[in-house]
């Protein structure tokens, strides 16, 4: 009997050993993974009761934790809630966090690895750890100008400093009041959340970097032209046949230029003229000549297909693959299935403005610990070099011409050379157009690159162009930068 | 004989009045008189018991400070009454079982105390007071369970008597098992039909049934072991039993499967079956029984996992816990995953008593008390608790190794293995070693029936261990 007993004892010991191992795995080795799970409300509770660090714009808090007398101890408060909602995101008890609040949660709560020593100190002194402050790159004047310029329109404005990638303004409308979601009355928060999520205008969607993405329309011609010139296949003076109407291959569809008629009158038209007057037919032919692969390579270099972290991950913009000739021609003036974020369009202008060097766009200037030591200082980072300095210079000339003499005339600023391109994207059928402007200023020493998108035809259905609605908005934002 | 702590010195103390009837009285008594020193054991027990009571009281105070920031003396007084009861049990042991194992009572006491502290802590979080409070009820049940244990130790002076009532025990066990199936008093909680309800009083008779069945198995196997182990054909190196000897194991298998299907409880079914297989293996030494038993159970479980949706759901929750579909499903892995989150939050040293959020996990005070303790006491605390269980079980197995009569040895092993199986099934289920099933964590989890049953197990082990010490050290094992 003792032999059997010994074996049973060994089995019992093994069973206990399995439990020692399983508990160790959960409580030591899998801790990081389990704590990072979005469904882990304990992590959230913890972050909620910590004194969360503020989010700063030019040294002024736009989001901070204010002491209150309830179980959570602090209430997250937004001083200019709607102006900055697309950037800060919201901080809730039970609906997760978005924006900077979500992306930099570890720093704001003080639980990031870089703050380990502070946590250790807090453990010894018994104080609850305080989170770090996040200083944004946003310029409050530019942000306000972009907010005001967009007015009641639905859409977005993104302004980037080309030399550094710093985002100076990021606006998305319609928006929401994050204070409503940060409240401690979970019932009220849930109701507010339901209301926002069911709103057909999608106020919770940050249109600058995510959402359903837009057809770029003619702003895509900037990328097309840059690809044509940089690949050394074409010069600005190369010409294409200039018919008023063009039937697409293997299709009965017919495309025309947006103004109707031919592009500038002649038998042929140069690439320069086609860009400045924003004609579709020459670009359709250019696309066919360049080919999907070349255009795709340039799109990728400009950031298409990549999730750009600002630090919130932007939805990758899309250049289609495997198109037939008709689709390739349509995509060459920003239709068919080309889809972009305003951030992506601003990045194209920023790359041209910065001599072909595309800097990683970011919203974070630096992260400062409670003791004022710098936890993280964001130096400019090169994202890619999509085009050469020469191509950038030529593109700048062409885009300045587009504003001075071409289709983007409403972005003109007295005494300053503005480079720009408008766009008017069709959304199929009777749907109102999407109106665009992108560009930078001053052309000789660019301080700011911009993308403006206005949804719903700016209220004019299918009758307005980008120059009428989007260009004036961009002009006001550019002026705000130039006047600082 | 091994076991160095059993070495005793001659002091000339008289044999206990509870000395069993021994076929060779003069020989054994003469030796016993010269080599025993029981007082030392009881003093060790008293010291450990005071430590256990002290730790439990500290835990309750910490819980109050952690949750409410103030000390409630009323609750502490009630806990003090239970401590006194534990001390009363110790005093009783000094009289009726002087040689009983000194570790069993302190371990049961401290586990029970920590359990009360955690259950009470969850009540505080939920704002429950009075009879609504599970902690208060747990304290009352602890009192009842300790008194019953006391009665068991006093009433059963010679455990061999139990062997005589083995068929009565079987009948009692089966009746208790079937009781929840009776219409009118049967009650279904959390999907399992394991309870009976009489007025405001609910009880899980299956908890007591496992003890009755352990008694039956031990009594039956001691008499039937020869026919089970020696007769039969040898095929492929395995001694297969005769067809007629398969009868009892088939009956137990049917009973276990019946529990699985009709009472919808995988854990209890596993418990009964595992208990029987281990006891039959220990008594006959035939591996074939283990293989047949395991085969039958795994076969049954495999079929059940395909055909019974709740078993199927448990397997899905175990294998794909983090799959959003499983997580959100009715009866899915939500509870399991929340328990894991809680334990991860506790980490190595825990959040501190009263400082975590164990109430997020459903059933944090009963099925998930281990996760709650892991959250607040950390891995260190869980290791300590598992270590206590391991020691408890080792003391039980020690009776199996050193006991003088096969019935007592077999019963001790069976009862100890019941504890092992419960720990493994519950903690293993919570930590994803095996699919989650609903067994109670002995002494810790909220639930009166389980407390009573486990305190009876502790009492029986105390009684059995007393017999071990009573025998002269010269007895030679087979």
High-pLDDT (> 90) share of chain A, %? 51
The enclosing domain of A258 has a CATH number of 3.40.710.10
On whether residue A4 sits in a domain, the answer given is no
On whether residue A201 sits in a domain, the answer given is no
Q: What is the pLDDT of residues A194-232, one digit of tens each?
A: 999 999 999 999 999 988 899 999 899 999 999 999 988
Element (H, E) at A454: strand A448-454
Give the nearest partner residue to A27 out of B344, B394, B397, using CB atoms: B344
Assess contact for A215 and A339: CB atoms under 8 A: yes
Instruction: Report CA-CA distances (Å) from A139 to A363, A367, A449, B84.
Output: 10, 17, 14, 71
User: Mean of the per-residue pLDDT values for chain A?
Assistant: 88
Question: Angle at the Cα of A468 (from A465 to A474), degrees rounded to 5?
Answer: 110
On whether residue A140 sits in a domain, the answer given is no
**Does A41 sit within 8 Å of B478, measured CB to CB?**
no
Assess contact for B89 and B108: CB atoms under 8 A: no
**B228 or A340, higher pLDDT:** A340
A167-173 and A155-160 strand pairing: antiparallel
pLDDT at A437 (0 to 100): 94
Assess contact for B219 and B163: CB atoms under 8 A: yes
Which residues, 6+ apart, have CB-to-CB distance to A441 below 8 Å?
A413, A416, A417, A418, A419, A447, A448, A478, A481, A482
B346 vs A: CB within 8 A: yes
Q: Is A57 helix (H, G, I), strand (E, B) or coil?
A: strand
Going by pLDDT thresholds of 50, 70 and 90, the confidence category of residue A375 is confident
On whether residue A326 sits in a domain, the answer given is yes
pLDDT at B239 (0 to 100): 62
The encoded tokens of residue A238 equal: 């190369």
On whether residue A406 sits in a domain, the answer given is yes
B341 vs A: CB within 8 A: yes
* Relative orientation angle of helices B406-430 and B205-230, to the nearest 10 degrees: 120
**A238 or A70, higher pLDDT:** A238
Position of tokens 């100076």? A168
Q: Give chain A's contact residues with B (Cβ, < 8 Å).
A: 1-5, 8-9, 12-13, 15-16, 18-20, 22-28, 30-31, 34-35, 37, 39-43, 45-46
Residue A385 structural domain:
217-363+381-482
Closest CA in chain B for residue A123 = B351
Chain centre to alpha carbon of residue B342: 25
Q: Is 0.90 surpassed by the pTM of this model?
A: no
First to last CA, chain A: 92
Q: Which residue of the set A172, A218, A258, A331 is catalytic?
A: A218
On whether residue A392 sits in a domain, the answer given is yes
Assess contact for A134 and A364: CB atoms under 8 A: yes
Q: Is A131 helix (H, G, I), strand (E, B) or coil?
A: coil
Q: What is the pLDDT of residues A79-133, one digit of tens each?
A: 999 999 999 999 887 777 899 998 998 888 877 766 666 666 655 555 566 788 9
User: For chain A, how many structural domains are there in total?
Assistant: 1
Chain A hits for B400, Cβ within 8 Å: 5
**Does A8 sit within 8 Å of B417, measured CB to CB?**
yes
**Does B423 sit within 8 Å of A19, measured CB to CB?**
yes
Nearest-angstrom CA–CA distance, B453 and B203: 11
- From the CA atom positions of chain A, what is the Rg in Å? 27
Assess contact for A402 and A184: CB atoms under 8 A: no
ipTM value of the model? 0.86
Q: What is the pLDDT of residues A258-287, one digit of tens each?
A: 777 778 778 888 999 888 888 888 899 899
The one-digit pLDDT tens for each residue of chain B (478 residues) are: 444 444 444 444 444 444 555 555 555 555 444 444 556 788 899 999 999 999 999 998 988 887 777 888 888 888 888 999 999 999 999 888 888 899 999 999 999 999 999 998 888 888 777 777 888 889 999 999 999 999 999 998 888 888 888 888 888 888 888 888 777 777 776 666 777 777 667 788 888 888 998 998 898 888 877 777 666 666 666 666 666 666 766 776 677 677 766 777 777 878 888 888 898 888 888 887 788 878 877 887 778 777 777 777 888 888 888 888 888 887 788 888 999 999 998 888 888 888 788 888 888 888 899 999 999 999 999 999 999 999 999 999 999 988 888 899 999 999 999 999 999 999 999 999 988 887 889 999 988 889 999 999 999 999 999 877 555 554 444 4
Q: Is A369 helix (H, G, I), strand (E, B) or coil?
A: coil
Question: Angle at the Cα of B93 (from B403 to B456), degrees rounded to 5?
Answer: 70
On whether residue A103 sits in a domain, the answer given is no
Nearest-angstrom CA–CA distance, A363 and A349: 18
Position of tokens 């502290």? B117
**A218 noted as active-site residue:** yes
Instruction: Report CA-CA distances (Å) from B362 to A85, A297, B309, B323, B358.
Output: 35, 53, 21, 19, 9
Nearest-angstrom CA–CA distance, A112 and A129: 11
pLDDT at B3 (0 to 100): 42
Give A268's strand partners: A241
Nearest-angstrom CA–CA distance, B333 and B327: 5
**Does A15 sit within 8 Å of B424, measured CB to CB?**
yes
- From the CA atom positions of chain B, what is the Rg in Å? 23
Position of tokens 């002009």? A475
Query: Is pLDDT of A293 > 70?
Result: yes
Which of A3, A6, A8, A13 to probe the B interface (max B CBs under 10 A)? Answer: A8
On whether residue A141 sits in a domain, the answer given is no
A382-384 and A374-377 strand pairing: unpaired
For residues B232-266, b (16+ Cβ closer than 10 Å) or e, as one string? beeeeeebbbeeebbebbeebbebbbebbeebbbb
Nearest-angstrom CA–CA distance, B354 and B122: 8
Position of tokens 């403006």? A452
Q: Among B420, B455, B440, B470, which Cα is nearest to B141's?
A: B455
Closest CA in chain B for residue A7 = B282
Position of tokens 């303004």? A169
Going by pLDDT thresholds of 50, 70 and 90, the confidence category of residue A23 is very high
């Amino acid at each position: 009997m003792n032999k059997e007993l010994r074996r049973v004892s060994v089995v019992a010991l093994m069973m206990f050993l399995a439990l020692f191992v399983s508990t160790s795995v959960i409580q030591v080795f899998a801790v990081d993974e389990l704590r990072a799970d979005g469904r882990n409300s304990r992590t959230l509770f913890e972050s909620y009761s910590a004194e969360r660090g503020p989010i700063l714009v030019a040294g002024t808090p736009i989001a901070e934790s204010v002491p209150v007398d309830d179980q959570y101890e602090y209430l997250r408060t937004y001083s200019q809630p709607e102006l900055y909602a697309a950037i800060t995101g919201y901080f809730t008890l039970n609906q997760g966090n978005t924006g900077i609040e979500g992306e930099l949660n570890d720093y704001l709560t003080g639980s990031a690895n870089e703050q380990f020593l502070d946590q250790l100190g807090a453990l010894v002194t018994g104080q609850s750890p305080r989170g770090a402050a996040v200083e944004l790159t946003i310029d409050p004047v530019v942000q306000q100008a972009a907010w005001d310029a967009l007015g009641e329109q639905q859409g977005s404005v993104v302004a980037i400093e080309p030399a550094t990638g710093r985002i100076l303004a990021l606006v998305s409308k319609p928006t929401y009041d994050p204070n409503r979601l940060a409240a401690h009355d979970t019932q009220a928060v849930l109701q507010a959340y339901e209301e926002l999520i069911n709103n057909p205008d999608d106020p919770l969607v940050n249109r600058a970097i995510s959402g359903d993405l837009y057809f770029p329309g003619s702003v895509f011609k900037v990328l097309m032209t840059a690809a044509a010139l940089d690949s050394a296949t074409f010069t600005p003076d190369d010409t294409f046949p200039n018919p008023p109407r063009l039937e697409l291959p293997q299709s009965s569809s017919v495309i025309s230029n947006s103004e109707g008629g031919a592009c500038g009158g002649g038998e042929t038209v140069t690439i320069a003229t086609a860009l400045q007057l924003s004609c579709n037919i020459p670009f359709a032919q250019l696309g066919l000549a360049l080919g999907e692969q070349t255009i795709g390579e340039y799109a990728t270099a400009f950031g298409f297909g990549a999730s750009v972290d600002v630090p919130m991950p932007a939805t990758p913009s899309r250049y289609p693959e495997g198109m037939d000739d008709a689709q390739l021609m349509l995509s060459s003036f920003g239709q068919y299935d080309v889809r972009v974020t305003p951030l992506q369009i601003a990045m194209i202008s920023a790359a041209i403005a910065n001599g072909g060097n595309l800097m990683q766009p970011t919203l974070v200037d630096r992260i400062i610990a409670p003791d004022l030591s710098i936890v993280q200082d964001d130096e400019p980072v090169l994202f890619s070099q999509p085009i050469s300095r020469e191509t950038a210079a030529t593109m700048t000339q062409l885009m300045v011409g587009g504003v001075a003499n071409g289709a983007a005339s409403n972005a003109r600023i007295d005494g300053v050379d503005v480079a720009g391109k408008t766009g008017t994207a069709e959304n199929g059928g009777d749907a109102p157009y999407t109106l665009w402007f992108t560009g930078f200023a001053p052309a000789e020493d660019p301080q700011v690159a911009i993308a403006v998108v206005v949804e719903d035809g700016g209220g004019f259905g299918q009758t307005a162009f980008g120059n009428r609605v989007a260009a004036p908005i961009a002009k006001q934002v550019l002026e705000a930068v130039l006047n600082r | 004989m091994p076991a160095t702590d059993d070495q005793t010195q001659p002091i000339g103390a008289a044999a206990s009045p509870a000395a069993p009837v021994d076929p060779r009285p003069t020989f054994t008594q003469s030796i016993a008189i010269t080599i025993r020193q029981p007082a030392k054991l009881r003093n060790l027990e008293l010291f450990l018991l005071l430590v256990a009571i002290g730790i439990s009281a500290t835990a309750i105070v910490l819980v109050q400070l952690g949750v409410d920031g103030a000390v409630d003396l009323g609750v502490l007084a009630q806990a003090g009454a239970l401590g006194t009861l534990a001390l009363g049990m110790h005093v009783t042991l000094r009289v009726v079982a002087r040689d009983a194992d000194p570790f069993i009572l302190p371990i049961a006491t401290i586990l029970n105390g920590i359990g009360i502290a955690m259950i009470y802590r969850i009540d505080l979080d939920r704002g429950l007071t009075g009879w609504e409070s599970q902690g208060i009820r747990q304290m009352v049940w602890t009192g009842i369970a300790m008194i019953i244990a006391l009665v068991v130790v006093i009433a059963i002076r010679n455990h061999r008597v139990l062997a005589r009532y083995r068929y009565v025990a079987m009948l009692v066990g089966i009746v208790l098992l079937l009781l929840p199936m009776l219409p009118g008093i049967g009650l279904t909680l959390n999907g399992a039909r394991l309870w009976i309800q009489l007025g405001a009083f609910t009880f899980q008779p299956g908890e007591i049934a496992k003890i009755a069945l352990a008694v039956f198995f031990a009594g039956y196997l001691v008499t039937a072991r020869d026919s089970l182990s020696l007769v039969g054909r040898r095929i492929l190196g395995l001694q297969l039993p005769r067809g007629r000897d398969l009868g009892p194991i088939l009956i137990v298998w049917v009973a276990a499967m019946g529990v699985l299907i009709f009472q919808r409880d995988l854990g209890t079914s596993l418990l009964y079956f595992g208990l029987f297989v281990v006891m039959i293996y220990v008594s006959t030494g035939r591996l074939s029984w283990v293989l047949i038993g395991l085969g039958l159970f795994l076969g049954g479980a495999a079929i059940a996992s395909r055909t019974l949706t709740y078993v199927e759901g448990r397997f899905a929750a175990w294998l794909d816990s983090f799959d959003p579909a499983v997580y959100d499903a009715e009866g899915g892995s939500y509870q399991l995953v929340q328990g894991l989150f809680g334990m991860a939050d506790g980490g190595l040293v825990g959040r501190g008593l009263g400082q975590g959020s164990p109430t997020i996990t459903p059933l944090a005070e009963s099925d998930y008390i281990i996760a709650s303790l892991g959250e607040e006491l950390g891995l260190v605390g869980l290791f300590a608790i598992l270590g206590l269980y391991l020691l408890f079980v080792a003391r039980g197995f020690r009776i199996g190794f050193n006991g003088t009569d096969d019935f007592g040895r077999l019963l001790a092993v069976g009862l100890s293995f019941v504890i092992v199986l419960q720990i493994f099934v519950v903690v293993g289920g919570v930590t994803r070693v095996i699919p989650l099933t609903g067994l109670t964590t002995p002494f810790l989890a909220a639930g009166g029936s389980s407390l009573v049953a486990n305190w009876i197990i502790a009492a029986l082990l105390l009684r059995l261990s007393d017999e071990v010490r009573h025998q002269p050290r010269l007895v030679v094992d087979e």
